Structure 1
Amino acid sequence: MDEVVKGLIENEHVLVVATICTETVEYARKIHDTWPTATAAMGRVIAGSVLLASTLKDKQKIMIQIKGDGPLSEVVAEADSFYRVRAYVKRPHIYMGLKNEKIDVGRGVGKGFLNVIRDLGLREYYQSSVELQTGEIARDLAYYLNVSEQIPSAVSLGVYVEPDNSVKAAGGFMIQTMPETRAEIVDFLERKLSQTQSTSSMILQGMDSLQILEEVVGLPIEVLQRGTVTYFCPCTKDRVINAIVTLGREEIQKMIEEGKTVDVECYFCKKKYEVTVEELKILLREI
């Protein structure tokens, strides 16, 4: 079962979060039929969205969008405060080979921007962007947190893909210091993080999320929250119809004149919906 653990280093002002989301990433891989580079990129963005979701309040959502000039083009993951996540990659059939014995995600992503969109339950979304630094996603996400949100952060994300293309390990961790954090603790964590093994290696060794955090920081953890990570898409036919409304009367009239049923596929879960000509006519009258 996929999980997320959020806590504080005991007696210190340091937030720590870790997730293991192997089953979720493998489920997403099967839905989207991704090849290794696309799988690794999508899995990292999924893990990153879960980590950021740990900072949300009830019923809020957060989306990470990676848009680059590399072959993958775009990778998106959205997670809510209940750790329900969904994702897609625009070009799923991409494999760029290895770099330093790891899947070369950076070359697959290329140069571009990391966008974070927060749905805080208000009328408008809050969006902020930073330029991609490496395309490897973890360092880019840490850069976003440090620069855009001004929260000193360290982020590690990892996905291990088997030769048969299945996902054997996926997850990540995030360490965030606060203004009250003592300088000696910051120095200690920096030294400890420089010696830390990869997230995917720790997952392959059988560590759970709490054990990963304890291994990473080397100090006792006060657990604040545990959650279960699941793949979930809330798409419905009503949502599809609402999306068609945004096209405007002229475009809907053209669809009606063509006399064909409109087929719509959800980016996130690949579910297909049909909107008939009669339904389009009713929709046109209503708007």
Structure 2
Amino acid sequence: MDEIVKGIIKDENVLVAATVCTETVSHAQKIHDTWPTATAAMGRLIAGAVLLASTLKDRQKVMIQVRGDGPLEEVVAESDWLYRIRAYVRRPHIYMGLKGEKIDVGRAVGKGFLNVIRDLGLREYYQSSVELQTGEIATDLAYYLNISEQIPSAVSLGVFVSPDNSVRAAGGFMIQTMPDTRREIIDFLERKLIDVRPVTSMIMDGLNAFDILEEAVGLPVEMINHSEISYSCPCTKDRVINAIVTLGKEEIGKMIDEGETVKVECFFCKTKYEVTLEELRELLRII
């Protein structure tokens, strides 16, 4: 079962969250037929979106978009307040080899920007961007939180892809200090995080999300919330039709003149939809 745990370091004003999302990333890998580097990038972004979703309130959503000049071009992951996840990568068939012992995600992403779009239930979305620092995603997400949201944060994300292209482990953790966090605790966490082992190693050793938190921070953690994670896409044919309506009568008329069924494939779940000529004619009558 994929999960996320949100908590606080006992007797300290430090927020922590950790996720194990191996099944979710594996499901996304199969949907998008990603090769190892694309899998690692998408999986890290999925874990990052889950962690950011731990800061959401009811009926809110968050999307992370990484756009770079590397061969992956674009990677996107989205989560709502119930940890329903969806994701895609623009070019799924990318494998760039290893950098040391890790998949070289940074080179595949390249230089560019990390964008975070929050749907807070208001009229307009809140969007903020930062320049990519490494392309490795975890460092870039921490940089975003520190610079754009001004929340001192440490983020670790990991995806272990086996030689057969299957996902053996995926997850991450996030630590956020508050303005009144004691300096001694900040110093302790900084020293502790220098030697913390990869989150994928913890997962493959059987640690759950709460165990990961306690090992990462080295202090007792009080759990605030524990939730399951699922891959879920809300796309429907009605949404496709509504999108076509927004094109206006002239564009719909051109589609009818072309005399072909309109075919649409969802970026996130690869579901295919068809809108027939008769359905287009009906739309033209009612709009």
TM-score w.r.t. the length of structure 1 is 0.99
- Aligned position for 2:193: 193
Whole-angstrom distance in 1 between the partners of 2:71 and 2:108:
5
Cα displacement (A) at 1:252: 1.3
Whole-angstrom distance in 2 between the partners of 1:63 and 1:286:
34
Deviations 1:217-252 (A, max 9, x none): 111001000000100001000111111123232221
- Aligned position for 2:62: 62
Whole-angstrom distance in 1 between the partners of 2:265 and 2:54:
30
- Aligned position for 1:217: 217
The one-letter code of the counterpart of 2:49 is S
- Aligned position for 1:250: 250
**Alignment root-mean-square deviation, CA:** 0.7
What are the residue-to-residue correspondences of 1:240-279 with 2, within 5 Å? 240-279=240-279
Structure 2 counterpart SS, 1:242: helix
The one-letter code of the counterpart of 1:167 is V
Whole-angstrom distance in 2 between the partners of 1:70 and 1:243:
31
- Aligned position for 1:238: 238
Structure 1 counterpart SS, 2:47: helix
Structure 1 counterpart SS, 2:118: strand
Whole-angstrom distance in 2 between the partners of 1:128 and 1:252:
34
Larger displacement relative to structure 2 (259-268 or 276-285): 276-285
Whole-angstrom distance in 2 between the partners of 1:127 and 1:141:
14
- Percent pairwise identity: 76
Whole-angstrom distance in 2 between the partners of 1:17 and 1:210:
8
- Aligned position for 2:229: 229
- Aligned position for 2:140: 140
- Aligned position for 2:113: 113
Cα displacement (A) at 1:111: 0.5
Whole-angstrom distance in 2 between the partners of 1:281 and 1:131:
46
Residue 5 of structure 1 pairs with residue 5 of structure 2: yes
- Aligned position for 1:130: 130
The one-letter code of the counterpart of 1:134 is T
Whole-angstrom distance in 1 between the partners of 2:246 and 2:193:
48
Structure 2 gaps of 5+ residues are none
Cα displacement (A) at 1:263: 0.6
The one-letter code of the counterpart of 1:273 is Y
Cα displacement (A) at 1:47: 0.2
Deviations 1:161-194 (A, max 9, x none): 0000000000000000000100000000000001
TM-score w.r.t. the length of structure 2 is 0.99
Structure 2 counterpart SS, 1:82: coil
Cα displacement (A) at 1:70: 0.5
Deviations 1:232-276 (A, max 9, x none): 001000111111123232221110101111010000000011101
What are the residue-to-residue correspondences of 1:140-219 with 2, within 5 Å? 140-219=140-219
Cα displacement (A) at 1:282: 1.6
Structure 2 counterpart SS, 1:238: helix
Whole-angstrom distance in 1 between the partners of 2:33 and 2:243:
25
Whole-angstrom distance in 1 between the partners of 2:167 and 2:11:
37
Count the aligned residue pairs.
Answer: 287
- Aligned position for 2:102: 102
Structure 1 gaps of 5+ residues are none
Deviations 1:103-141 (A, max 9, x none): 000011001110001111122111111010000000000
